[in-house]
Chains A and B, each alone.
Chain A
């Protein structure tokens, strides 16, 4: 049975549409990430599921029960807020017990659940502290604990890692992944950080401009982006897009770059739109400096050394920008003219409406 189902959800604030006909279905115990830039509607969608906003149209179902007509507290949903929203005058224990007391859970049951959650999250020594006496990381654990004790059918995490420093964020990410294995519930996490979404989620829902752009497993989103937005939003640095002309013949499409070079892709020619302006999508790792037979030449504008690899930002003869990759100890310098070897088998094509076309799945 599907865990959460959204059916045609719409929302507008003061006439400005925020969500437009959003439908989605979650498997049970699935970890879903809503990924998108600010203003894409992902947080609004989360708040509609939580009951903190009401949808203008559409339905929300959780495990066979319609919940969009219920108040937040009756939805079997727990939420971890971005700024944690711990009750400042209550101790950790009281914070975690508050919802259970309101739900009239027996006292010994509350104590047991709080103790269990505290043990899992390793916050037992913090149970009698107040939020002001804890660090950001500790507060976040308490916020997660407050959600855990409710044994909800669905967890909502609103940018759960955004308020942590870099080191803690990485550690918490690992812990969230472990936690996911332990809970018997589905999880929806809102994030604008693709690394979080890629590492944690079973499936990613990429959102932009009021709509779901693509739903898929992390590597599917990365390797088969449904459209130009997804291709450019997911992956860092962003995918290079080059205007190309389609060559005649062959089953797989071969294209001409603006500077006349040819790239033989593995995208089936038959499925492409006829006689259209196409764009070639290349991730940096599909464009190597030096190695193999050079497809074309480019002038280097910026060299970015990332440690394990080097990114080369360059410009082709016709002026289009392209991002390439080189070894960690690249000798390329700004201003150099370098040969680029484009791996056509890793290339993507995008139609005039932005739709992505990829090589047939292996």
Chain B
């Protein structure tokens, strides 16, 4: 009787389950299988075991793309977290002005990556861009953001921060709204300065949001792709090639699907490891704090 009931229950989840299996589980397993094969888009492949992975290990282009990915992630996540927190603190108030500004700062998040990179190409171009004009007005040589290998990752970071600041700001605003007002009143009666109140009341209350923002953004920026492809196509000489751009080029430039899948699996494991490490570090800290 129980099994009969189980079957009927399964019918209710079947529509979702079917879609889930079809568009999530199957591609995941298929990708894993592909990474163990040498395949292109046009013919049947053959099994090569861990051959693709061995090749990746010795591929300097993949290595550089991973280093680039880590660098740009480090350039993005800390400033992005701090800027979005400061914006949220500044805009966490009633009134029309704050509401309009909240809308404006969130507006960049709804733009597609194509438009964002278009805007920033104008901003960053040394001869006619806004930043270049400002440099010239200050009597300095404009910085060649997109053609200097040392400046291209910062340029990607600036573009990405501008694009991504809205959502973390929203999360911080939601976190700030959760802090009861009487907490601040109690702090005022406790003669707490603005600085003390921020560090002892606000930041601890935002702890979970802070962790969430850092984890989400780290996972997102390790997959940075569109900005790099559209702004510089990974250049100059691979200085802005990220891991996802590498696997895109392998799969759809050189048609090496198996090799690209192996790169994707490696990136997946890296992101998983980083996220788990962050989770472990913060939850351990929390346990300690009690």
Contact = CB atoms under 8 A, between A and B. Distances in A.
Contacts of B191: 71-74, 99, 102-103
Interface stretch (A80-88, A164-172, A283-291, A349-357): A80-88
Interface in B273-290: 289-290
| Contact count band on B | 20 to 34
Contacts of B180: 83, 85
Given A85-B180, A90-B200, 15 more contacts: A52-B185, A71-B191, A72-B185, A73-B191, A82-B182, A83-B182, A85-B183, A87-B204, A88-B205, A98-B190, A98-B192, A98-B200, A102-B191, A102-B196, A130-B290
**Interface of chain A, helix or strand or loop or mixed?**
loop
A94 to B, nearest CB: 9
A100 B196 CA distance: 13
Interface of A: 50-52, 71-74, 77-79, 81-83, 85-90, 98-99, 102-103, 130, 146
Q: Which of A50, A52, A86 has the most CB of B within 10 A?
A: A52
A206 B230 CA distance: 72
B36 to A, nearest CB: 48
B188 A73 contact: yes
A81 B190 contact: no
Top 10 A-B pairs, shortest CB-CB distance: A73-B191, A99-B190, A85-B182, A89-B204, A85-B186, A72-B188, A102-B191, A72-B189, A81-B182, A102-B192
10 contacts: A52-B185, A73-B190, A73-B192, A74-B191, A87-B201, A89-B205, A89-B207, A98-B192, A99-B190, A146-B186
Nearest to A94: B200
A231 B190 CA distance: 39
B193 interface: yes
Given A83-B180, A85-B180, A87-B183, A71 B204 contact: no
A142 to B, nearest CB: 12
Given A89-B204, A98-B190, A81 B196 contact: no
A79 B186 contact: yes
Nearest to B197: A102
Nearest to A143: B186
Interface of B: 180, 182-183, 185-193, 196, 200-201, 204-205, 207, 289-290
Contacts of A98: 187, 190, 192, 200
Contacts of A81: 182, 185-186
Given A81-B182, A83-B182, A88-B205, A102 B189 contact: no
A73 B194 CA distance: 12
A49 to B, nearest CB: 11
A87 B290 contact: no
A77 B189 contact: yes
Contact of A102 (B185, B190, B289): B190
Contacts of A72: 185, 188-189, 191
A87 B200 contact: yes
A323 B36 CA distance: 90
Contacts of B193: 102
A312 B130 CA distance: 85
A50 B188 CA distance: 10
Contacts of B289: 89
Contact of B185 (A74, A85, A86): A85
Contacts of B192: 73, 98-99, 102
